[in-house]
Structure 1
Amino acid sequence: MSIRSLFVFVVLTIICNLTYAQNGAAFFKGYPVVAHSDTLFFIKNKLGSLSAAERAERTSAKVEQLAEDLLFVSDSLITERDSSLIAIAYKGNVMMSLSQADADSVKMDREVMAKAYQEIILNNIDKYKKETDLTELLKRAALGLLIISILGMCIYFLNKYSNRFNAWLRVKLHAKISGFKIKNYELINSKTEMLIIRKLLNLIKILVIFILVYLTLPIVFRLFPWTKPWSDSLIGFVLNPLKNIFSAIIDFVPDLITIGVVVIVFQYLKRAIKFLATEIEAERLNINGFYPDWAKPTYNIVKLILNAFMLVVIWPFIPGSDSGIFKGVSVFLGLLISFGSSSAISNGVAGMVITYMRPFKIGDIVKIGDTTGAVQEKSLLVTRVLTFKNELITIPNSAILSGNTVNYSSMANQNDLIIHTTVTLGYDLPWNQIHELLIDAALASEGVIKEKQPFVLQTGLEDWYVCYQLNAYINNPKRMPAIYSEIHKNIHIAFDAAGIEIMSPHYQAIRDGNASTLQNTVVMTKGES
């Protein structure tokens, strides 16, 4: 076989390997006959009791054994034909036999196929003998030493000039490097930055040296037939992963296109829903029974559902999604989220329920539990309330859903809000005078609606005093503390002017049997013993 024919054979073998790697098991090439780390040809069919794999293994062993024969004569390797087989034999020892089925499997004439295989075996043996000739080995050893010497010189000069380059770079960059800052915080000072640059350059030098050594070793190993498999292994460590990555990328392209189409469709669907939500929130689009403040949370819920559905659709197309590791990590993350976010999920569900219950909106004055103030923020998990003392209180939504909420703003905006306060006074004071004084005090207070008459309710007739409840109308619940203070001040002023002491008396009665309780009462006020 000529050099050109051998080169064509090698190229065809490489192309077949790449094609087979890309197409998987689309076709079966057969079992390779390998001698001295070279693949000679393939055997696809069995012969007699021998399988194709056994035939390939036996032929490989006989070729390598023949190459070790010091008295080998190439003219003695001949082809012999009988009625059904053509044998390639050496001095009566059959190397291999070829049947008509072997010829049909490669679509060649059986005699032409036998001659081609004979020539391939002769070329392999001749190449091996030349490579193992003492003179050739000495030449190759000298060439190997030369290559190693060149490698050593390259490493020496690389190390020498890299050190000089580092010194020159430190001098040049010393005045220019000022460290790395984020606003006013110095994350890396100039000294540390210079150290990082020096370490990075040393790392690059080590990487270059490693690449040079890694490229040199296969060349040296390939000089000798015994170390040639080592060379193939070193090259395979790099080429096989690259070939696998390239094949995986080629195979992933259709799935990637599918994923891209699905993502684009869902993106435009979410944009359309967001547009509708924006129109509803801006009250340009009205839907009966659907409030504008529902638009944004509803969009967020729909977006979450669409994203989850999109992930379900593209999941089978993600590389490695059907692997055991991928499934194990997915189950672990699911369990982690389930056990670690139970309270967050309950708050999230409560937040959605509160959104559609509409008990309050941003800016409303509310009372949630013991907290009274203006609603500052409504989120999926918590609600934040700014109290009258300028305190920002964060309340979990689950606590709001399980308790009572008082909204002062909702009624104040519609029918005005009624605020009330209570005083307790003795039975000896005229109730009509008390009513008049309380109503006058309310009307004199700033913030109370004058158009709606305040009123007084007597809410209790206790053993020693009467409970008078003053009710007044206001329309600005944000000023409730100030209005309450103003009403209490005016009540104090009005009762002082009328000579009435605001106290709750305690009565002790001494009965003589027939006298009225009112005529024989000794009044003991608070502070008397």
Structure 2
Amino acid sequence: MLKNIMFILALVLSLTGGQTAYAAPSPQPAAGKEEVVQTAPVRVDGAVLFTVRGLAAFTAHERARNIAGRITSIAGDRAVKPESIVAVETEQATELRAGTRLIMYVFDDDAEREGVSRQMLARAYVGKIQAAVEVYRRDRDTRSIAWASGSALGATLVFVALVQLIRFLFRKLLSLAEKRYALKVRQLQEKSHDIVRTEGIWTVFKGGLRAARIVIILILAFFYIDVVLHLFPWTRAFAVPMLDLMLTPLRSIGRAVLEYLPNLAFLIILVLVARYGLNLLRAFFLGVHHNRITFTGFEPAWALPTYKLARLAVIAFTVVVAYPYIPGSESPAFKGVSLFLGVVFSLGSSSSIANIVAGYMVIFRRAFKVGDRVKIGAQTGDVVEMRLQATHLRTIKNEEIIVPNSLIINTEVVNYSSLARKGGLILHTSVTIGYDTPWRQVHAMLLLAAERTPGLLKEPKPFVLQTALNDFYVGYELNVYTDRPLEMVKIYSDLHQNIQDAFNEFGVQIMSPHYLGDPSKAKIVPKEQWSPAPAKPEQKT
């Protein structure tokens, strides 16, 4: 196992070093620049024996693949002894042979690239090939396979145990952190007046722990797979590409991160400043909203909408400042996507933006507030919610009406509650009575009906206006004061009942809505007939 681990470590170091032991081509000037000689490694069971350059008829990779195939074929033939692999000198090249079987040619250009003689390079290649053949055969005998299988099983058990240990340690670490620091974090939130949020700190902490746990387990899994693949000769060839597959992007990412660190530091500082600035703004406007902080002429109801505007301004400023420091922000693709999203947003949100602007106008001009009884156009109801895009009303029939804020800006709004709190809201109703009834009596009966109606103010006193002298009757208007605008429908109903009772009680006929002629007997209901079946007699209080 130790031998394999050392082999993997050496392989990693060789790959991260950027060059192999034989990858130092001699410089050859070409058109004022150094000519780069393409080379390729000769691998047997994933191990690099040496590197070769290309020939006129073969590329470097084709030549390396052919040589590796011949070495593997010879290694698989146990009739061929490693000692039979020798170098045979010819006039133009040195042949490496195993008996009558050709392995490769070593040319003067190969030796020149390595800075040695052709014969010396050939002898070095022979030694490497002989060693590779011996290792190839030794790794495939029964004893080696059994040892590799046992090692793989042991590595698997160690990997599973480490994963369970890591999960246990992280759970303990989280539990320990909650016991030790949860109270301190809550105290910090109280001292900072909610600028520092406990939930946010714990969310970041737990997320960081989970991410660290996942990264550690992934690293362990990678090394576990790499070790197991190196144990068996048939899978060893896949270990090197997998290692390279992991290390190459990691190198690229590492270089990119190192180059981006100054910009990243700026963005982190910018985001932290913006975040804590927003927390300060939020704490300030919440204080205004709850009347802990007061300003002359600034309504507490304006605090949260103003905070939203300020937050939008801070976020927009932060994005504008951060934009040049975002990776890829100068690329044409990034600019194209940004332009596309801007066009889509502008086309799809024109009405929404109009309603939002109107919503702020409604809030800041104080047309009404939540709880007011209002009439917007033809709709009457109580304001239950004011949002940036629409206002929600609840009618006396318990219906919810959603009115777009842009419509409110362009139509008249009647607020029944705003002045009712100060001088009272005037409710009025009309009756028509014949000329044969003295107007003083009519005034007295109407005022008596108002006096009997609950929910009306004693001061200011109700009053009666004579609104018209028609052909056959006189129009009277009763005006009463109330400070309960939300009960106006019930008050109107009680008032009309009391008017009917008062006029019936004194034997005066109400001629509304139309008059056709004087009947032989006045159209009134005697008091003793006010509660015929199925009506129940009223209980006097």
> Shared fold (TM-score greater than 0.5)?
yes
Q: Which residue of 1 aligns with 2:106?
A: 95
Partner of residue 452 from structure 1, selected from 445, 460, 471: 460
User: Is residue 2:40 matched to residue 1:32?
Assistant: yes
Tell me how far apart the structure 1 counterparts of residues 37 and 108 of structure 2 sit (CA, whole Å).
19
Q: Which residue of 2 aligns with 1:203?
A: none
> Does structure 2 conserve the Cα–Cα contact (< 8 Å) formed by 1:364 and 1:410?
yes
User: Is residue 2:367 matched to residue 1:366?
Assistant: no
Q: Which residue of 1 aligns with 2:449?
A: 441
Question: For residues 284 and 111 of structure 1, do their structure 2 counterparts lie closer, same or farther at Cα, with a shift above 3 Å needed?
Answer: same
What displacement does 1:259 show? 3.9
Q: Which residue of 2 aligns with 1:130?
A: 134
Tell me how far apart the structure 2 counterparts of residues 152 and 57 of structure 1 sit (CA, whole Å).
37
> Does structure 2 conserve the Cα–Cα contact (< 8 Å) formed by 1:421 and 1:470?
yes
Written as runs of structure 1 = structure 2, the 5 A alignment for 1:174-193 is none
**For residue 406 of structure 1, what is the amino acid of its counterpart?**
V
Q: Which residue of 2 aligns with 1:429?
A: 437
**For residue 134 of structure 2, what is the amino acid of its counterpart?**
K
What displacement does 1:299 show? 0.9
Q: Which residue of 1 aligns with 2:418?
A: 410
> Does structure 1 conserve the Cα–Cα contact (< 8 Å) formed by 2:430 and 2:478?
yes
Question: For residues 90 and 441 of structure 1, do their structure 2 counterparts lie closer, same or farther at Cα, with a shift above 3 Å needed?
Answer: same
What displacement does 1:318 show? 6.9
What displacement does 1:421 show? 0.9
Q: Which residue of 1 aligns with 2:404?
A: 397
Question: For residues 426 and 120 of structure 1, do their structure 2 counterparts lie closer, same or farther at Cα, with a shift above 3 Å needed?
Answer: farther
Q: Which residue of 2 aligns with 1:488?
A: 496
What displacement does 1:264 show? 0.4
What displacement does 1:506 show? 5.2
Q: Which residue of 1 aligns with 2:144?
A: 143
Question: For residues 408 and 214 of structure 1, do their structure 2 counterparts lie closer, same or farther at Cα, with a shift above 3 Å needed?
Answer: same
Tell me how far apart the structure 2 counterparts of residues 244 and 344 of structure 1 sit (CA, whole Å).
45
Question: For residues 8 and 419 of structure 1, do their structure 2 counterparts lie closer, same or farther at Cα, with a shift above 3 Å needed?
Answer: closer
Secondary structure at 1:367's aligned position in 2? strand
> Does structure 1 conserve the Cα–Cα contact (< 8 Å) formed by 2:462 and 2:480?
yes
Question: For residues 318 and 17 of structure 1, do their structure 2 counterparts lie closer, same or farther at Cα, with a shift above 3 Å needed?
Answer: farther
User: Is residue 2:271 matched to residue 1:266?
Assistant: no
Q: Which runs of 5+ in 2 are unaligned?
A: 1-6, 21-35, 75-79, 98-103, 157-220, 525-541
Tell me how far apart the structure 1 counterparts of residues 253 and 239 of structure 2 sit (CA, whole Å).
22
Question: 1:259-300, CA deviations, whole angstroms, 9 ceiling, x for partnerless residues?
Answer: 422320111221232244234432734265x43321111212
Tell me how far apart the structure 2 counterparts of residues 249 and 351 of structure 1 sit (CA, whole Å).
49
Q: Which residue of 1 aligns with 2:485?
A: 477
Written as runs of structure 1 = structure 2, the 5 A alignment for 1:288-327 is 290-307=298-315, 310=318
Q: Which runs of 5+ in 1 are unaligned?
A: 1-5, 20-27, 81-86, 104-109, 156-209, 510-520
What displacement does 1:361 show? 1.2
What displacement does 1:384 show? 4.1
Q: Which residue of 2 aligns with 1:16?
A: 17
Between 1 and 2, higher relative CO (CA 8 Å, sep ≥ 6) is seen in 2
Secondary structure at 2:141's aligned position in 1? helix
Question: 1:35-79, CA deviations, whole angstroms, 9 ceiling, x for partnerless residues?
Answer: 4344456689x9xx969x945754664676588787986663789
User: Is residue 2:289 matched to residue 1:284?
Assistant: no
Question: For residues 242 and 448 of structure 1, do their structure 2 counterparts lie closer, same or farther at Cα, with a shift above 3 Å needed?
Answer: same
**For residue 284 of structure 1, what is the amino acid of its counterpart?**
I
> Does structure 1 conserve the Cα–Cα contact (< 8 Å) formed by 2:226 and 2:243?
no
Q: Which residue of 2 aligns with 1:76?
A: 87
Cα RMSD, aligned residues only: 5.5
Return the TM-score normalized by structure 1.
0.59
Tell me how far apart the structure 2 counterparts of residues 76 and 258 of structure 1 sit (CA, whole Å).
63
**For residue 296 of structure 1, what is the amino acid of its counterpart?**
L
Secondary structure at 1:410's aligned position in 2? coil
What displacement does 1:317 show? 6.7
**For residue 145 of structure 2, what is the amino acid of its counterpart?**
G
Secondary structure at 1:409's aligned position in 2? coil
Q: Which residue of 1 aligns with 2:237?
A: 232
Question: For residues 150 and 484 of structure 1, do their structure 2 counterparts lie closer, same or farther at Cα, with a shift above 3 Å needed?
Answer: same
Question: For residues 277 and 76 of structure 1, do their structure 2 counterparts lie closer, same or farther at Cα, with a shift above 3 Å needed?
Answer: same
**For residue 144 of structure 1, what is the amino acid of its counterpart?**
I
Q: Which residue of 2 aligns with 1:172?
A: none
Return the TM-score normalized by structure 2.
0.58
Partner of residue 475 from structure 2, selected from 454, 467, 471: 467
